Structure 1
């Protein structure tokens, strides 16, 4: 089969498309998937460069999220049959024509939902959904400020918070990203900068945001703290800016703010303890809800552009250029896309 292979940590240009060994037959709880599309993310770029918190053994095939059809299943797998359309999460390996994945992080794609629309749900939407509900207990009517609202996780947070009944305020760096956030459920959208806190307070009659979702980090986090309501919550889910936020504990103290660090990887097997089996039932229920919402048009997962299988470096360059709205994907084998 064909797969992208990384022989050494470094720039994405050195990742090569090669003929590689097949993944083998499924174990008792495994699912073999014929991959149609795989998503491209900042985490993939960091992993290729050797700067992610997990370093795969070399050589390895990158890619953490894929959609396609089931080719074969292990003897104890009861949720899937060959031919079923599915989307899956893996620690790596998705930039290959076939991938073997534990059934616990494989999710059925319902009839009527195109594969490409299902692709962003497990990681970007899964991160936003579990962060908003499981970590922060979002309630209808709360004001939610989403930083980086044009990113994969940011746009997912906008859509899901709105679907859950929150009043969503988006913050994004370009007019196109702000317009997209408004089209996906935000009530207002502002650019980042020193005026953000005042704009949020003006919109909320002086109260501020009950919950701030931050996938960006860096200096913007300090502005977001000032935009938060007294007794509000801050959800830190990543550092797309490349810089860690400078947290001022005195502001957390005087405003009675709660800072929630959130690592979605805990629920999907990306920690040394590999807790995916423990969390699989709850995450499968959450994924089924989001699949249904996507099929019914209540949320609209967005893939802005699909690159050819050997276009990883170009996709990451586009992602780092901060002009991408939503997510990007590689076409692994889309000759027979399932709708």
Structure 2
């Protein structure tokens, strides 16, 4: 089968599409013919060996996928060949087939495309857990979303609106800001402008942000913390800007503010009950079409390098998806 194979940590131009052996189903697992793979910022870091944990070489990148079950292993009763599923693994998705434990997949709801299924779990679980478990975003509160046109930013916009918040989306280009407005943001800000905090202050009538949703990092994060309301909460979910900011400790004191972190990889192990609650809610919201992944950038498997470059160049609107089979 065809698969993207990382034989050494390197830039994406040095990674190749290869023919490898098709995986065999094992007890307790399912073999899925992959139709679509959602690519995230973390995937690009893993390929280069720059993520906080490294996959042993060689490996097939890609964590989120959707497809059709081809075979089930001994002991698997809840799935059967022919079922459409969506799932998430540590790696291995950028291939024509993947074997994962049965608990790593769930049924793809009726009316949900493979592209949407492959774009859902990581971003929406991150945003939903952050805004319902790590803190509680309340109706009428103001939420500032940084990096609002990216995969997790668009998820935060949609979930924020579902929870009745006023969502102000910060993005660096006019097309990204227009995209955020189409997704339901109440207002937008160009955070590349030196006076963006003044604009934000005007938009909030001096109140500031009750919640800052921050997948960006870098200097903009400290500026955003300076703009939170009294008792505001700043949620850190990533560092797409490439640098980790240092927060002056006097700011939380002056603002009565909280800095909260979300590491999705640890949630199932450390908070299994919260994980199950969030997944059940999200699965219902996806099935009801109350949440719909925003997908603008779709690439064929043979064009996987372009998918990674779109992410690295911060050119993507919504989730980046690689399609593998019809």
The normalised TM-score by structure 1 is: 0.91
User: CA offset at residue 194 of structure 1?
Assistant: 3.5
Is 1:17–1:310's contact at 8 Å kept on the other side of the alignment? Answer: yes
User: CA offset at residue 295 of structure 1?
Assistant: 4.2
Give yes or no for the alignment of 1:287 onto 2:286: no
Query: Residue in 1 aligned with 2:130?
Result: 131
Query: Residue in 2 aligned with 1:175?
Result: 174
The SS at the match of 1:330 is: strand
Query: Residue in 1 aligned with 2:208?
Result: 208
Give yes or no for the alignment of 1:231 onto 2:231: yes
Give yes or no for the alignment of 1:325 onto 2:324: no
Give yes or no for the alignment of 1:246 onto 2:237: no
In structure 2, C-alpha distance between the alignment counterparts of 1:158 and 1:135, rounded to whole Å:
17
The SS at the match of 1:10 is: coil
Query: Residue in 2 aligned with 1:38?
Result: 37
Aligned residue runs from structure 1 range 266-285, under 5 A: 266-267=266-267, 275=269, 279=272, 282-285=274-277
Give yes or no for the alignment of 1:222 onto 2:222: yes
Give yes or no for the alignment of 1:70 onto 2:69: yes
In structure 1, C-alpha distance between the alignment counterparts of 2:292 and 2:179, rounded to whole Å:
11
User: CA offset at residue 284 of structure 1?
Assistant: 4.8
The SS at the match of 1:310 is: helix
In structure 1, C-alpha distance between the alignment counterparts of 2:238 and 2:317, rounded to whole Å:
17
User: CA offset at residue 78 of structure 1?
Assistant: 3.8
Query: Residue in 2 aligned with 1:16?
Result: 16
User: CA offset at residue 241 of structure 1?
Assistant: 0.5
| 1:217-254 residue CA offsets vs partner (Å, 9 max, x unmatched) | 00100110121001110000000000111211111111
In structure 1, C-alpha distance between the alignment counterparts of 2:80 and 2:278, rounded to whole Å:
21
Give yes or no for the alignment of 1:313 onto 2:305: yes
Query: Residue in 2 aligned with 1:162?
Result: 161
In structure 1, C-alpha distance between the alignment counterparts of 2:289 and 2:24, rounded to whole Å:
38
In structure 2, C-alpha distance between the alignment counterparts of 1:195 and 1:78, rounded to whole Å:
59
Structure 1 residues 177 and 295, CA, compared in 2 at 3 Å: closer, same or farther? farther
The SS at the match of 1:212 is: strand
Is 1:16–1:310's contact at 8 Å kept on the other side of the alignment? Answer: no
Unaligned runs of 5+ in 2: none
In structure 2, C-alpha distance between the alignment counterparts of 1:38 and 1:248, rounded to whole Å:
39
Unaligned runs of 5+ in 1: 269-274, 335-339
In structure 2, C-alpha distance between the alignment counterparts of 1:207 and 1:77, rounded to whole Å:
53
The normalised TM-score by structure 2 is: 0.94
More deviation, 116-125/227-236: 116-125
| 1:261-289 residue CA offsets vs partner (Å, 9 max, x unmatched) | 11011135xxxxxx28x72x654553343
In structure 1, C-alpha distance between the alignment counterparts of 2:230 and 2:156, rounded to whole Å:
22
User: CA offset at residue 315 of structure 1?
Assistant: 1.2
Is 1:184–1:299's contact at 8 Å kept on the other side of the alignment? Answer: no
Is 1:40–1:312's contact at 8 Å kept on the other side of the alignment? Answer: no
| 1:138-169 residue CA offsets vs partner (Å, 9 max, x unmatched) | 22221111000011111110111111111111
Query: Residue in 2 aligned with 1:271?
Result: none
Q: CA RMSD in A?
A: 1.8
Aligned residues: 325
Structure 1 residues 105 and 165, CA, compared in 2 at 3 Å: closer, same or farther? farther
In structure 2, C-alpha distance between the alignment counterparts of 1:329 and 1:288, rounded to whole Å:
24
The SS at the match of 1:63 is: coil
Is 2:168–2:188's contact at 8 Å kept on the other side of the alignment? Answer: yes
More deviation, 310-319/41-50: 310-319
Is 1:194–1:223's contact at 8 Å kept on the other side of the alignment? Answer: no
In structure 2, C-alpha distance between the alignment counterparts of 1:201 and 1:78, rounded to whole Å:
56
In structure 1, C-alpha distance between the alignment counterparts of 2:260 and 2:77, rounded to whole Å:
36
